[in-house]
Structure 1
Amino acid sequence: MTPAVVISCLLVATIFQTGHFAVIETKEAVWAAVGDQASLSCRLSKTKDVLQVTWQKVLLDGEKNLATYTEKYGSRVSAGLEDKMDFQYESLQSCSIVIRKVMEEDEGCYRCLFNTYPKGAMIGRTCLKLCELHGPFINVSRSNSPPGSVVTCSATGRPAPMVTLTVLHQNLSFSHYNTSRVTNINGTVTFTTTVLLSALNNTQVECSVLVQTAALRELLVTVPGLTETSDD
C-alpha cells in the first residue's frame, strides 16, 4: 500500500492521564487533497503495557470508533469502513491508519487511544485538513503613468498559497511591488501579487505558486516591452 505524501509539523504532545505523564508523538495536522489518501500515525515515546489501540473520529456529540488493534485479534475496522480505511502499520506501541479517497466529510480531528493496564487510556490527537490549489492566473495590462506593464498573478487555495513573480532577464527588476490577501467564505485564501515592469523589449515573467502540500506550479508569460506596444 502506498502511503499518502503529506507535509506537516510534528507535534509532541504531553498527555496527563490518571496521575502520570505519557508522551505520544503524532502530527498536529495532516494535509491531503480531495481524492488522495492520508496517513494518520501515533507512537508512544516510551514502551508501555498496552492491551489495545483504538482509533476514533471526533464528532460534535462525542467520538466514533473506527478501528482497533490487539495482539490477540489483530486489526479490525468498523463495519462499513473496510473500503474506506485500513491499518498501515500496526503494533501496540506505534500505530497508523490510512484513509482512502479523502472526502470533505473526512476532514476533522482523530484520536488514538493506547489502552494500558492498569493505568487506562493514553490519548493522542491529530487533525486531517483538506488542501486545494487553483491557479496561478496571470493578467498583463498597460500603464501610462508610470509607463510600463502591470503584471498581476493570483492563486486561491488552502492553506494560503505563496505567490511569487520573477523576471527571467538579467538586469531587470520589478517596481511598485504589492500583495493582497483575501480570506474567502469557504475557508480558502486568495493571494495576489501585482508588479510594474518597465522594459524596452519583450520580457518573460514567471509566476510560481505553492501550498505546503502540493507540487510547485509555474506559469510563464511574455510581457510586451515599451517599444513593442503602440500607444493607447
Structure 2
Amino acid sequence: ILKIISSEAFLLLIFIYFLSRISVLAPPHLQAMAGLPFTLACNITMETGEVLKQVLWLDMANKTILHYQPDKNDHVTKVDGVELSQQTASQQAHTSVITIRRAAPANEGCYQCLFDVYPTGQQRGRTCLSLTAMVEMMDNKTVVSGKPLTLSCKYVLSMRVRQVLWKKTAEQGDTATVASYVKNDRPIIETPFKGRITLNPSLGQTKLSIHQAQTEDEGCYTCEFHTYPDGIKSETACLSVYVLPKPEASYVTVSEDIVEANCSAVSRPAAEISWNVEGHNQTLGPAVTSFYQLGDGTTMVVSSIQMQAELLDDELVKCEVRHQGLESAIYVSLNKYRNFHVIPISASCVALVLLICLCICLKRC
C-alpha cells in the first residue's frame, strides 16, 4: 500500500512540476458583433529547453481551422475566412492571434488553441465566443402621396427573436402599434391600418408595406425585435409623404394699364413660387405670397404680383414653382395674347358648326 501511495504521490509531483513550468493563457469568454470581424488570441509560456513544434486552432466542432509551424512563417494552412493576424515568438513564449473575417451565428461556440510542445506534449487554451447584434434598418424615406413603399429592418440573430413589433410615432408625439408577428402565427395588422398595410411573416428580416401612402402615414416607424435572452432590440426611421404641386396661374385687370397676376399651388410641404420674364430672368417687382393650411395636411401657396398690362403682350411671363419632391421646377405661362387667340378660334368653330347646320336645314327644306 505504501508503494502504491508513493507512486501516486510521485506522479502528482511530476504533474505539478510540469504545470508550473508551462502555461497557456486565453480569455475564457469573448463577445463579438455579428457581421464584423473578431480576433482570438492565445499565449503560451515555456521553460528553457522546451520547443514549440506546431500551433493549431480548432472550432466548436473540433475541426482544424488554422495551423502552422512557428519556424515556417510562410506556411500557414487555413480555411476560408480565417487569417493568422499575428504571431510573436521568443525562446520562452509564443503568442498566436487569428482573425475570423465575419462573425455569424454559426461562429458561436468554444474555440481551442493547441500548442504542440516538445518534450512536454500538447497544451490547450479555450475561448468561448458569444454574439451580439444591432438592428439594421434603412435610412429615412420619402414617398409621393398615392405611391407604394416598404420599410424594412433586419436582425441577423433571428433564432433569438420571439416577436416582431412595428410602432408609429406621429408628429404630435402619439405612438401607436401598427403591426406584429409571432413565430408560427399570422401577422396582425391593427384596425386603423387594415387594408392599407401588410407585414411579411418573418422574424429575421421584417418588411412593413404601405400600399398607397397618404399624408396621415407620415411619421417615425420603429421596428422592435423581442429577443431572448438579449431583450428588445429596436431601430427607428422616419417617413415623409410629399404631395406634389399642380400650379395654376391667372390674372385680373386692376385698371386700364395694370393687371394682377396670381399663381397658386397646393402641396406638402409648401412649394416655393417666384415670377420671371423669359429671356431676361427678371423678377417683376415685389410679389406678395400667402400661405393657407388645409385640413388634409397640405399647404396652399398663393403668389400675387402687379405689373404693366403691356408686359403680357411683349414678354412671356411665367410663374415658377419649386418643390422638394420635384427634380426640376414647373413653369406656368401667363400671356394675354394666348387668351385673345382662344376667343377667335372658338368663335370660328361655332360659326362653322352653325353654317353646316344651316346648309343641312336648307337642303331638307
Same fold by TM-score greater than 0.5: yes
- Deviation at 1:133? 4.1
Q: Kindly indicate whether residue 328 of structure 2 is the aligned counterpart of residue 218 of structure 1.
A: no
- Per the alignment, residue 126 of structure 1 pairs with 237
- Deviation at 1:136? 0.8
Say if 1:155 and 1:190, in contact at 8 Å, map to a contact too: yes
In 2 relative to 1, CA 105–138 (structure 1 residues): closer, same or farther, beyond 3 Å?
A: closer
Pairs aligned (count): 197
Q: Kindly indicate whether residue 183 of structure 2 is the aligned counterpart of residue 183 of structure 1.
A: no
Bigger relative contact order, structure 1 or 2 (CA pairs below 8 A, ≥6 apart):
1
- Amino acid of the structure 2 residue aligned with 1:158: R
Taking the TM superposition and a 5 Å limit, the aligned residue runs for 1:45-194 are: 51=161, 54-58=164-168, 63-64=176-177, 66-68=179-181, 77-78=187-188, 84-86=196-198, 92=204, 95-103=206-214, 106=217, 108-133=219-244, 135-144=246-255, 148-170=258-280, 172-194=282-304
Q: Kindly indicate whether residue 109 of structure 2 is the aligned counterpart of residue 37 of structure 1.
A: no
In 2 relative to 1, CA 164–27 (structure 1 residues): closer, same or farther, beyond 3 Å?
A: farther
Say if 1:135 and 1:209, in contact at 8 Å, map to a contact too: no
Higher share of residues assigned strand: 1
Cα distance in 1 for partners of 2:312, 2:195 equals 60
Cα distance in 2 for partners of 1:152, 1:209 equals 12
Greater shift after overlay, 76-85 or 176-185? Answer: 76-85
Say if 1:24 and 1:123, in contact at 8 Å, map to a contact too: no
Per-residue Cα deviation, 1:87-112 (whole angstroms, up to 9, x for no partner): 68x783x6543211335665554321
Say if 2:166 and 2:179, in contact at 8 Å, map to a contact too: yes
In 2 relative to 1, CA 53–127 (structure 1 residues): closer, same or farther, beyond 3 Å?
A: farther
Say if 1:110 and 1:127, in contact at 8 Å, map to a contact too: yes
Cα distance in 2 for partners of 1:200, 1:162 equals 23
- Deviation at 1:155? 0.9
Q: Structure 1, unaligned stretches of length 5 or more?
A: 1-19, 225-232
- Amino acid of the structure 1 residue aligned with 2:333: L
SS, match of residue 335 in structure 2: strand
SS, match of residue 176 in structure 1: coil
Root-mean-square deviation (CA), in Å? Answer: 4.3
Cα distance in 2 for partners of 1:53, 1:83 equals 22
Q: Which has the larger radius of gyration?
A: 2
In 2 relative to 1, CA 195–65 (structure 1 residues): closer, same or farther, beyond 3 Å?
A: closer
Say if 1:32 and 1:128, in contact at 8 Å, map to a contact too: no
Say if 2:317 and 2:334, in contact at 8 Å, map to a contact too: yes
In 2 relative to 1, CA 144–41 (structure 1 residues): closer, same or farther, beyond 3 Å?
A: same
Say if 1:54 and 1:67, in contact at 8 Å, map to a contact too: yes
In 2 relative to 1, CA 200–159 (structure 1 residues): closer, same or farther, beyond 3 Å?
A: closer
In 2 relative to 1, CA 169–149 (structure 1 residues): closer, same or farther, beyond 3 Å?
A: farther
Per-residue Cα deviation, 1:165-220 (whole angstroms, up to 9, x for no partner): 33213375411233222323443212122233443843222224343335654322
Say if 2:268 and 2:297, in contact at 8 Å, map to a contact too: yes
